[in-house]
Every structure is written in C-alpha cells, then in structure tokens.
Structure 1
C-alpha cells in the first residue's frame, strides 16, 4: 500500500463529557472534539485556562481537565500517528478553537466515531481526514470584524426564516456586494454558502429522528420544500436525505446543534 492513513493518524480512544461533572483526559496523541452545547473551561497544569462555548472544537494533549461552567456536551477522540506528532509540534498548549474555522468538524468527528471496527478504506481514512480539517485550529482564533461576526450570529440565530443574503445585508445595514466581499475574505466562503451549510447541519439532526417528514424538515430548516431540500442536500453531501438517514440510523453519535435548537423541536 502506497499510503496507509492509519500510520499517519488513527483513533485510539473516544470520550464523552455530558452534564456538569468534570472530565480529565490524558494519553499519547491529540484529543480532538466538538463542544455541541453549553460552556466549558479547559484547565491544564502550567497553562492558562481556556474557555469554550457551544460550537467550538477542542484541541488537547497531555493531561488536562474539562470543567463545565453550564451543563454541556462534548464528544472527543484521541488521535495518534505520525501526522498527529507533526500537528502537535505546532500546538503550543491545549485550547478551544473557533468552530467557524472548521465547520465540518462535527460531521467528521461523527464519521470517526461511527467507523468503529469497520475495515473499509473510508473508515480507515476518517481520522486522517478529521486531522486535515483541523489544520487551521492550531492557529490563534481568528478575529472576525464586527460586521462578519454579526453576520455569522444572524445566520446561526435565524437560518430557518432568513430569505437570503439580500435580507441579511439589509438587516446589517450594508450593501449585498460589500457583505459578500468582506464575509468571503474572512470566512473563506460567501454568506449564502455559509447559510446553506448551517441549514444542512440542522437537516442532518432532524433526519436522525424518524418522525420528521422531509417536508417538515424542509420547513424547519429554511428550505422552500422537500424537493429543493433533496437537491441541495445531495449536492452538498453526495447523499440523498433518505440515504443519509439510513446511514445515520447506525451511528449513535450526538452531533453539533446549530443555534436555536430549542425552536427546532417545538
């Protein structure tokens, strides 16, 4: 085999933090995880404490403790291998990173955890794919301009009812062209695509619940109808909603909740 992803990066352990009890992590390699709800503080001997909130992802090594500030949920994996060693060489201390720098982290983490003992090529490569996606997480958190930070917050808070970039730019008091230019520069994607990605993540969560029809999911996630949801979902994920639902049924993994999750389930 020319390239063996398990030599570069493999999943050695899975841990879950849920509720208010602290969790201490240790062991060789990199702990990578997603804080899907709540707020948490990372405490590491000899280092300054780091705070994380819903949507952030964890990058940790050595021995450290996660101490919930509010009831929270965090799912993480310990990655080991040659590529992990190189990754850790550039990570000065355990920390939480801005989830916006890796919007696919929750999905990739679920893929790693769901792979289990599967021996197919895609499952073997899942940890390495996750590590590659986290490559920018070892940098200092990006400082978004006030405009982009407001745009991101508005999308996450109102993705169900937001008609599009025109409405968003009007809410923010700027022209559509200016918003697209600044947002794309800082986020690496235009605001319309970011809105779509947030809606797709919300749809995935609802697809995991059998009682929700495609038409209902479309309405709850801001799509105009079930047919449009199917087209966009297939384009973005490579799977139809029905096929993704069947795959997700075999994975008991809690993924990152988008903002306003309480309203989704009303």
Structure 2
C-alpha cells in the first residue's frame, strides 16, 4: 500500500470513565475526552472539568471524579497528533462549545476504527486549545516565551528574570493555572519538538539536542526515555514510514521473451 492514513492520524485506544472511580489514561499520543456528566478533576490541574468540557493532553492523565461522571476518551497517534501536542503543551480542559462535533466523533470511534474519523476528530478540536479558560497575564507571557524560545532558554530561573518576577512566584502562579510547573511545561514542549525532528533522518541525536535546548545527546536520551517511556531511537523506528513501493516501469518498457 503506497499511502497509509494511519501514519498521520489513527485511533490507538479508547477508554471510558463512568461513575466515581479514578481512571488513568496512559500511552503515547494525544488523548481527547468528552465529559458528558459531572465534575472531574485532572490531577495536577487546578480547575476541574465540567459537563461539556473537552479533555486534551498526552498521557499519563489521572482523572479523579468529584461527582458521578461520564467521560469517553480516545487516544490519537500519528504525525498530525504529534504536531497538535507540540502546540498544545500541558494537558487541560477546554470549552466543548468550540468543537461541537467532537462528542459524536469520540462516540463513533469507540466502535469504529477509522483513520478518516480520527483525523476528522483532530480537525474538530483544532482550535479547542485556543478557547481554553483564559490564563493569568503572567502565565500567558511565560507560555509564549517558552514556546518561542524553548531551544535557547536555560531554565525557569532565566525565564523568571525575563518576566521580572521571582522564580517562586512564577512557579506557584504557573502551576495553579496549568497544573504543572514551568520546568515541566518546558520539558514537554522540548520533547514534542524532538519528536518532530525525529520524524526525518536529516538530523542525528546530537544535532537534535542542540536544536531543542538539551545539553547533549546523552541527556536528551535520558529525559526522552523518562518522559516517553522509550528511547529516541526506538520512537523514531516505530514512527518511521514504511519503505516506498518500487515504481513499476511503463508497459512500453517491459521486455517480453
């Protein structure tokens, strides 16, 4: 097969939360969940999700219901899902009104394994991260600074100096708004950038480390394995496209004996 749609977007797993028992969503890729009932807390995130909200983020995600809840979730994988995660950053709840078709698509993917449907869901949530609850000005500035300069940013202390606040104040405010400290958010953005560069064979690990803010290939490998669960080489091998199918010659060039 010359083109495999699953390379770009596919539904790798489905999950359901129904009741009050905590659930953990694990596995590489983008988790998309629709909360249709109740109030649910995303561990590490200050603001809980409410009925109608959309869950977005990379696993592992720990969900702790505050009331009787129902949530359907799917895990999307592939190049397009990775690109979305790179922009998304930290896991979050988003306003479901921004993607009214998401609930139906998530429900359909519970019973149908369709790459086209998975891609349609990704398109449906394309702007969901932009309609998430407004961030405090300091956190918004920090997120912008991290996304624009993750390759050269030394760390949280340098970031706090750039923003004119103390490191402790930045960490506290950032974690209250996004559920993770700025250092963790910076690492997440860097890892997703690494994944994007690993999708081609143009750069070796030492070059990728330099382009994404890591001090060297060895340190990159340690952090990548800790965050993703596999080495960069293993992730690259799993994400590599299948070998191209040799092109057949025109019939006029065939030789007959």
Highest Rg: 1 or 2? 2
